[in-house]
Structure 1
Amino acid sequence: MTQAPAPSLMRPAPSRTGIWAVLGVLAAMLVLGLGSLAYQRLHRAALAELTERGTSTLNLAVAALNGQLRRFDRLPGLLAQNPIFHDLLRAPVNAGRVQAANLYLRDTARLLQATDIYVMDLDGDTLAASNFDQPLSFIGHNFAYRPYFTEALSQGDGRFYALGTTSLVRGYYYGAPVYVDDEIAGVLVIKLDLDAIEQGWRGSGTEVIVTDPEDIVFMSTEPDWTFGATRPLTPERLERTRSTRRYADRVLSELPLTRLSGPDGGALWRITQPGGSAEYRILSERMPEADWTVQVLINTLPARQQALTRLALAGLLAGLAVLAAVIVLQRRARLRERMALQAEARAQLERRVEERTRELASVNRQLAGEVAERTATEAQLRATQADLVQAGKLAALGQMSAALSHEFNQPLGAARNFAENAQLLIERGRIEDAKSNIERILALIGRMGDLSKHLRNFARKPNAQLSDVSLPEAVAAVQEIIGWRLRAQRIDLQLDLPPLSVRAGPVRLQQVLVNILSNAIDAVESTDQRRITLRARAQGGTAVMTIADSGPGVAPQLVERIFDPFFSTKGVGKGLGLGLSISYNIVHDFGGTLSVRNRPEGGAEFTLTLPLAHEAP
């Protein structure tokens, strides 16, 4: 008998293809596991960012509601003290008192931008209302079932949010008792519309809802959610809502939502809508004073999309990194080939740079010579301009010398007379009268000294540096210089100068004002009504000064040339035509502007704009 061969104890060696298949499966599982973990972390991080933004939105929404409600917090009590309501409650059938209360309530509602204001008696009947002349007036309606009425009688004030049973308009009601002879005789109610806040929330990309104590939504950025309940509507909750008629006869329903828990443990809602379901992160905050809950609903779809996008981006970056490594290895081989070409190109570039450097050095030397020449020319032009400015001032002083001698001779003659009288009075023993004469002599000497000081400062070459200059002081100094012309021509100089300080040179600013006022004096000499008006006002960061005269004005064809050097509209020998040109350049050195126009009522008006000083005078 032959025995059957025993089974071999040796197993066949696995093929290489099977090993690679196993390794591929393990690698795929590893990649999927790491991707799942990465997605969860990215999803939680994205939810955390959404929660942080939602918290800011929630805080803003609560702050907006609290701010709006507190605007009217004390107004009902203050309005209830008005005697008009006391008279109304003493005689509610008096038509005159009812009409007076109605008109006052209507005007007050418009002033306060309140929806409605009305007054009720102790039975809850409305006696007067701001909407007395509207089709849906509250007058004659009874609101004794409203909590704001009962709380105002029992607690001193009432607060309630509800849908108006008459107007069907949502509003927040403030109630306050009206005292007559230290006893409660009625209740005054203010209704505030919160629709503006609700409209402001819409379009922000985040849903906001506000629920009442029964978890019924009465404010929402999504209109379909309004008057929906976020929790089951039990008979007890429905009965409490109906007893106060908070939502009138509107049918209430439950929102189609499912409560979930997110990957980070936070609360989520899944709400079913006609277009599908959406998942929201829920953030809420209580408002104890109003007994409301403000909730912010943030759609979590962007968080999932962001997590997927970041995961895909990370995978893409990893693939790019591998691809970059392959490219680097390939480029290293090519880099060695390019080194020789780059060395040759570098040598050629250095030769070209040396040649270009020599050319640029030659051009720079030429430019340096031209710059030095232009600098010297500019310095010469500035010196010439300064000489012209000084010459203009000295010319003006020369023109004023004859009249100024008269200004000095008058006080000198008066001082001599007072001195001779004082000598006689002393000889006669009239010491007090002599002292009076001496005081007048001193006043005349002071006047001549002030005039001399202004002329000396005006004639001195000015310092080019700018400082803070008081406009009233500058104009006062200019009045001392040209006052003789104003008095000689009997010109009415009207001043309107607030206490402004500008950034300018004091002497050069006086020269500008002297030039412009001198031109204005020349313009009104041949007119019957001789008036010059000087005004100044602050506008932004500048001071705007206008100098208007009652003269014939500037010919329209000459307005554009009036600031040109050596251009003058005066006769021969009456001016060099440099005053306005010098003034124009001085003002531009100050960083300001100078312009002229003809006024519609007649006469020319110069507008001088200068920067305001750093500090107020």
Structure 2
Amino acid sequence: MTQNSAGWRLALQLALAAVLLATLVWPRVERYFLQDAAAQNRVTLRLVSDGLRAALDRYAPLPHLIAARPELARVLRNPDDPLLVETVNSILLNTAISVTASDVYLMDMDGMTLAASSYRKERSFVGRNFSFRPYFTQAAAGGLGRYFALGTTSGERGYFFAAPVRDGPRILGVVAVKFTVEAFEAGWQAASSNILVTDPTGIVFIASEPAWRLRASVPLTPRALSVIRANQQYPVERLTLLDIARRVEAGVDLTVIDGTEYIASSGDALASAGWTVTALRRAAPARLQAGMVFAAIALLVVLAICVASYLRHRAAQRVQVHRMLEQRVEERTSALRFEVEERRRTEEKLRRTQAGLVQAGKLSALGQMSAALSHEFNQPLQAVKAYAENARTFLDRGETDEVRDNIGRISRMADRMAAISRHLRNFARRPGEAIGPVPLNLVIDDALAVSAPKLKAGGVTLDYSPAAGTPWVIGGHVRLQQVLVNLISNAVDAMGGAGRLTLAAAPHDGGWRVTVRDEGPGLPEGAAEQMFDPFFTTKPMGQGLGLGLSISYNIVRDFGGTLWGEDHPEGGAVFGVDLAAADAPAQEAAE
């Protein structure tokens, strides 16, 4: 073979390799690094969403707690009492400092601010009317008001929560709590992704990039602009449209903002506030990594072709090179298989651990009730023994009617012990049920049956108000029963002796609410923020794992519901489970 023909063959091989690399290898390399960056971006999105949700959950109950202060109702009834107004101003200032809120202020039913934590500031809220704000309208109607806007007085972006101040059933005014968002944005500066939060109209009101704030991510309709002007939510003249273009490439959402390309991950994790959180990670580094890897692969391929062409007359060495390349590919494939298998085992271990924690919580509850259960079984056993001995005596006397009566009593005692055993067995088993419609009253009855020994042993009086009719809710029978048993057990422990436990089920917000109230000392200071955390407990050492409320919280969240707890205005604590309503299954409805 001539040198010229060898050169043409080498050029042909390189050209063919370039085509194959460009059509087969480059798309896969680029997809891998883009998808890997997208996966990291989703982790950032989840952390940011969890932080925002935690902040909203922290501030949401505050207006109701503040509104319960009797001084607020008094100043609304006597707004011209300067001493009373000064007292309420001080209360609101101290409250704002203690809960790290930007502003706390009290308005009458006309929206006029009577007292505020900012009463000492030059631009105080006192004397300003906020009846145009939706949060005022929502709270004045008796609900929890919530709204995000740019403050007309302070000029600060903030989220507002508001609650009605009541005098019995009558609403006297509204108390509002505002917290600013600058702290979130400052914390995001160190993140590897830019964060962008939009409201339902598409306006960017929180962003790690200052140039994006208070700009529209989508064209605003005339109706949306009209609503914004009416509520004075944002200055309309600042709502310029961001230069955004979106597309999907290699299975990854890509967004170009002001000429910069980002990998985008969005989620409606804060749907209760109407927020959409988007994490934006620059695509250039991922593409650069892909280019470097591709260049390395291409260089290896070219080098392999050159070496193979130069040493083609050495067949043995060429076979060795091929085997070496195949070995490297196999090692890479084996490493990837190992990583996939390792991740699968880790996920399986996490699932087993979670199931073990759920079961541990249930067995812990049964363990705490063991003394009462022992008494509940010993009573019928002693009665069975007594009836058996009496029956033997009556049998010796030939009094068959008395023997038959004693045998019937023994049978009823056996039925009673079987019923107790059945409830305990159902409660202690590992649930494998799917989420679906369950009869609420039946679940409550089963929970009370399991809890009856502990109620009796603790000398607790049960005041139960079942739901009217036959309501069905979304959940799982065994897991929902576990949640109620945990709440009842905690309530008995909180009272530490005789008292009244109030259990009620009633319609709420289109669904159903089950509440458990005790007459104990109420929630300890600082417990409200941690009571749903794993292993947090206020019980003495050895009397609880600190898992009951955490497990219950996650179970209810799996059902799409809410578990909450707070101090009751009349003393003690009240815990509630809010569940979505469900239609009865076809067979049940027919029956």
Normalised by the length of structure 2, the TM-score is 0.50
Which structure is richer in relative contact order (CA contacts within 8 A, separation 6 or more)? 2
- Work out which of the two has the higher radius of gyration on C-alpha atoms and give 1 or 2: 1
